[in-house]
Amino acid sequence: MKLYRSIDGVILENEKVFKSIQIDTSWNDFIDREDLHSALMSAWKEGQVLHDGLDENRLLTPIGSQEIWAAGVTYHSSRLARMEESKDAGGGDFYSRVYGADRPEIFFKATPARTVGPGKEFRIRKDSTWDVPEPELTLFVTSSGKIVGYTAGNDVSSRSIEGENPLYLPQAKTFDGCACLGPCLYVPEEPLSSKTKIEMTIERSGSEVFSDQTSLEQMKRSPEELVSFLFRETSFPGGVFLMTGTGIVPGTDFTLMAEDKVSIEIESIGTLINFVGH
Ligand code: DO4
Ligand code: MG
């Protein structure tokens, strides 16, 4: 079942059939429940069929007041790229060590106000010279620590700032318009398969300038392992979104430019499309 937040209300999708449903609580209370999948199955029965389908131009970010956190260096490709970008700053070794360590890299990524939804513009920093999108499976975890949903996320990053000094990571990662989420919250009965594919395409002036894909099989850590570290000593009223790291890293000659179109497709979830703002 896919759950959308739209300007027109809350919409469910089941095998390409769309229904609008009423919720009598806040978005946070509605999604922060361990039995979300069965709650959606019940809501489906009461829903009103939308004969015109889904208007993708009216979708909102599937987030309430939750924070977004992110894990890093969870794929070998990210480990190699980070070691290369920070070698002059002496940071290469840290990335290699965190890749092999018990404790994963987990950092605060964004507040809802710094996050953009489907079809919207995200930002790259004006004081950065090398910027990339990072397509990441993003978990929705209840306040009790259970993964009940998935969405696509873009952990927009400044590689020039991060590469200058690993201590600059918060500035490379967190700024206005630094994260994209959507298009829906995918709420399956069973956890997402490890075979799930993730694909990213970047278009500039109508032509493809980058495309690559990976799968969750390439991820070194399990979603549950990342969640267990995130919840150590930290609580999340209303639940939390957790980006799980990128396995797709454009080459060193690529940097994002204003108006680029970034499409992130995750099997079963759908495609999150965003544009680089000015
Ligand atoms: O340590 C730098 C950030 C890593 C990251 O965001 C990723 O691997 O996705
Ligand atoms: Mg990332």
Ligand 1, CB within 6 Å, residue ranges: 70, 72-73, 78, 82, 105, 134, 155, 162, 169, 245-246
Bridge pairing between strands 207-215 and 157-158: unpaired
Phi, psi of 49 (to 5 degrees): -65, 135
How does pLDDT run across 163-201, given as a tens digit for each residue? Answer: 999 999 999 999 999 999 999 999 999 999 999 999 999
Question: Residue 70 Cα, ligand 2 centroid: separation in angstroms?
Answer: 7
Which residues, at least 6 apart from 106, have a Cβ–Cβ distance to it below 8 Å? 69, 70, 71, 72, 226, 229, 230, 242
The domain spans of the chain are 2-58, 68-276
Question: Residue 34 Cα, ligand 1 centroid: separation in angstroms?
Answer: 29
Given a cut of 90, is residue 91 above it in pLDDT?
no
pTM exceeding the 0.95 threshold for the entire prediction = yes
Question: Residue 195 Cα, ligand 1 centroid: separation in angstroms?
Answer: 22
CATH number (3.40.1440.10, 3.40.50.2300, 3.90.850.10, 2.130.10.10) of 68-276 reads: 3.90.850.10
How does pLDDT run across 208-228, given as a tens digit for each residue? Answer: 999 999 999 999 999 999 999
